[in-house]
Each structure stands twice: as structure tokens, then as C-alpha cells.
């Protein structure tokens, strides 16, 4: 019987493995790890501008600008100039860019399946209820 910390460790590996598998499945072969990371952050942040993104990633604005330009060139994101402040542009995911979210969703589904498989209906319900309580 493992304690919770050890369980988390196993879960963490499982999550990592499933995300890894999903990346292979979705085959974003024209993206480096780093570029995927940029897209994930843009997605998570909503529609950040360059300054926000640079701040979160702890990188300089020129660095982020260059990276963003490459991703625009590859049709993963696009810029929309702000009405509020015409100096600024917000970054949006293209349809192609949004596939990254589908990839994560796919990984999460597979993880949920894997976890559910070993439990009967009552146990499954208990687990979901407890986790809901924990994360509420």
C-alpha cells in the first residue's frame, strides 16, 4: 500500500507518458518542444500580447517576438491589433493551433480511461466524488 506522495509520483509519470503518446499521435512534427510550449502558454493565457507572454515565460520581448513570428509563419497563431491600445496586439490560436488543446483533451481522456478501468461502478463514483471535493 503506497502513501499519497508515492501515488502522486506514479500518477505524474503516467500523465507524462500519456501526454508524450498524444504528441506522437497528433504528430506536430513541424514544431519543436519549445514552440509547442509557446502555443500552450498562449492557449492557457487566453489571448496575451507579446509583453504578457514575455513576462510569463521570463524571456525578453524580442525573443518572444521572433518566436511568435515563426509560429505565425507556420499558421499556428495570428495577431489582432487591440482597439483599446493601438500599440498592442493580442495573440490568437488558428484552427491548426487549437489542435494542441485537442491533443491535451485526448491525453486526459486516455488517462481517465486508464484510471477507471480498474474500478467497479461504485468505486469509480467514489473516486470521482472525492476528487471533485478535493479540487473544488
Partner DNA sequence: CAATATAGTTAGGAAAATCTAACTATATTT
Partner DNA sequence: AAATATAGTTAGATTTTCCTAACTATATTG
Residues lying near DNA in the complex (CB under 7 A) are found at 32-35, 49-52, 58-63, 65-68, 70, 79, 85-89
Q: Which does 5 bind (CB under 5 to 8 A by kind): DNA, a copy of itself, none?
A: a copy of itself
Neighbours of 82 (CB within 10 A): 13
Q: Which does 22 bind (CB under 5 to 8 A by kind): a copy of itself, DNA, none?
A: none
Residue 54 in grid coordinates: 514575455
* CB closer to a copy of itself, 14 vs 89: 14
Exposed, middle or buried, 49 (CB in 10 Å: 0-12/13-18/19+)? buried
CB of 31 to a copy of itself, least distance (A): 14
* CB closer to a copy of itself, 78 vs 128: 128
Beta bridge partners of 49: 90
* CB closer to a copy of itself, 65 vs 104: 104
Spatial distance between the Cα atoms of 63 and 86, rounded to a whole number of angstroms? 21
Spatial distance between the Cα atoms of 131 and 25, rounded to a whole number of angstroms? 28
Amino acid at each position: 500500500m503506497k502513501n499519497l506522495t508515492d501515488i502522486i509520483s506514479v500518477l505524474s509519470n503516467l500523465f507524462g507518458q500519456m501526454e508524450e503518446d498524444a504528441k506522437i499521435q497528433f504528430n506536430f512534427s513541424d514544431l519543436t518542444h519549445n514552440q509547442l510550449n509557446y502555443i500552450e502558454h498562449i492557449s492557457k493565457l487566453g489571448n496575451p500580447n507579446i509583453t504578457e507572454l514575455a513576462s510569463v515565460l521570463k524571456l525578453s520581448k524580442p525573443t518572444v517576438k521572433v518566436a511568435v513570428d515563426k509560429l505565425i509563419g507556420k499558421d499556428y497563431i495570428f495577431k489582432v491589433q487591440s482597439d483599446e491600445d493601438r500599440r498592442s496586439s493580442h495573440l490568437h490560436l488558428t484552427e491548426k493551433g487549437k489542435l494542441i488543446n485537442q491533443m491535451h483533451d485526448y491525453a486526459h481522456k486516455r488517462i481517465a480511461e486508464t484510471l477507471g478501468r480498474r474500478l467497479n461502478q461504485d468505486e469509480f463514483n467514489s473516486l470521482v466524488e472525492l476528487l471533485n471535493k478535493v479540487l473544488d
